Structure formats: structure tokens, C-alpha cells
Amino acid sequence: MAILYGFHAVLARLKTAPSSVDEVLYEQSRKDKRMQQFIDKVKASGVKATGADAERLEKAAGHRQHQGVVAFAKEISKSNDLFEIIERNGKNTLLLVLDGVTDPHNLGACLRSADAAGVQAVVIPKDKSVGITPVVSKVACGAAETLPVIMVTNLARTLEEIQEAGVWCIGAAGEATDTLYDVDLKGPVAWVMGAEGDGLRRLTRDKCDQLIQIPMVGSVESLNVSVASSVCLFETLRQRQFSA
């Protein structure tokens, strides 16, 4: 059973898989327009909507940051066979590999951007990485529920296998000489992004086919991993859809 909370996460699940939602709790004391519209959408999807007090909502969500909305839902079955995903998407393969992202807000933001950019799967290591927590689901605004997130034991070996499947692995590193805009991204690509602060681990860096930097002109030395991921993913989308 999955616990979803927050307007965006719950509405995204109702949109993509309403039959998986068993019940939605909403804060009965709220009479504002946003809440009423939310309740209307829940009922229109055929899901039971139940008014609840703040104590029950907090207990269901496990904390107070639920926006007055909590849903009980079944886990959605997603293909977690990475190489089946690569084979199915062929030259259009686009993966995001996150090397040790431990902040749930960053992971959630990465998933949201990945979904928007058309990424078919996100790969994360089992160790030194946050999993799919309720906070991740909330920040991801539904992407955590629909986008395959594949946890692997040996990230370096997985990168080798991704390369053997014909996917070009590109790591983002501030010291790289090539820039994001020097790279042809129209073929199958796996973007490899490092953790907050430390960046790519040495072995992960060594396994990449190519390293690039994102050109910056300001005083900051690096971008947040979720921002850097967005920049790289949407440049890939731009090249694939809008370049001549």
C-alpha cells in the first residue's frame, strides 16, 4: 500500500491510474476553492473522498506537510527491467543515472524533470542513495508513481552493461573540457549525475564514455543536481525535437 500526499501527487495518480486509489482523505475544515475543486476531481474519478480532521491526516501521512490531502493507493506495476526498456526504446533511449543522491527533495525534483523530458527510466544505487519516500513522491508530483526507478547494487557494472546495450553514457563534471553544447545527443543517451556536493564518484566517472560541463558565467561553482539534470535533459529534448 502506498501513501500519497499533497495535491499534485494525488491528482497525478488519479489522472494516470484512478483504479489504483482506494480512498482519499481531505481536510474537512477547509472550504476554499482549491480544496473544493480537488474534491470534485476525486469524486469525478470514482474514488471515495472522506473528510478528516488534522490529527487523522497527520497520522496517515506521518507528518504535517500533507496540504490537507492524503491518499491510500495500491502500488503500480512498472517495468523494472532496464535492458527491456533500452531494447524497446532503441535509438530514442534516454536514461538518467543518479550517483548517490541522498536528499529526497533533490531526487523528487530529478524525477519530475525526468518525466517531463521523456526519460524512460532512472537508475540509482541501493547504497548511499535515498529511495522512493513519501517526500520524494510529493516533490515528484506523480512522476515517482509512473517512471521506473531502478535500484542497482553495482552502479559501475550497470554502466558497463548500459554501454554494452549501445547507450552512450555522459557524465556531468565541472572540470570537463567539453561542454553540454558540444555533444550530439540525438542517439541513445544515459545522463550520469553526481551527488550533492561531492559530484560523481571516481569509479562512476571513469566508467562514463564522455564528461561534459554546463557553461556558467556567474559566481557560483556548481548547480544543484536537480537543476543540472534538468538542463542536460532538456538540451537533449531540444536537440531531438527541434534541431534541423
> Pick from 134, 207, 149, 150: which is nearest to 173 by CA?
207
DSSP string, 144-173: HHHS-EEEES-HHHHHHHHHHTTPEEEEE-
Per residue in 5-40, pLDDT (tens digit) is: 889 888 888 887 888 899 999 999 999 999 999 999
Q: How many CB atoms lie within 10 A of CB 178?
A: 13
Buried b (16+ CB within 10 A) or exposed e, 202-232: eebbebbeebbbbeeeeeeebbebbebbbbb
Global confidence as pTM? 0.76
The residues that bridge with 169 in the sheet, in sequence order, are 190
pLDDT of residue 79: 57
Average pLDDT, the chain: 91
Contact (CB, 8 A) for 21 and 43: no
pLDDT of residue 135: 86
DSSP string, 62-76: TSS-STTEEEEEPPP
Helix (H, G, I), strand (E, B) or coil at 29: coil
pLDDT confidence band for 78 (50 / 70 / 90): low
φ and ψ at residue 50, rounded to 5 degrees: -125, 125
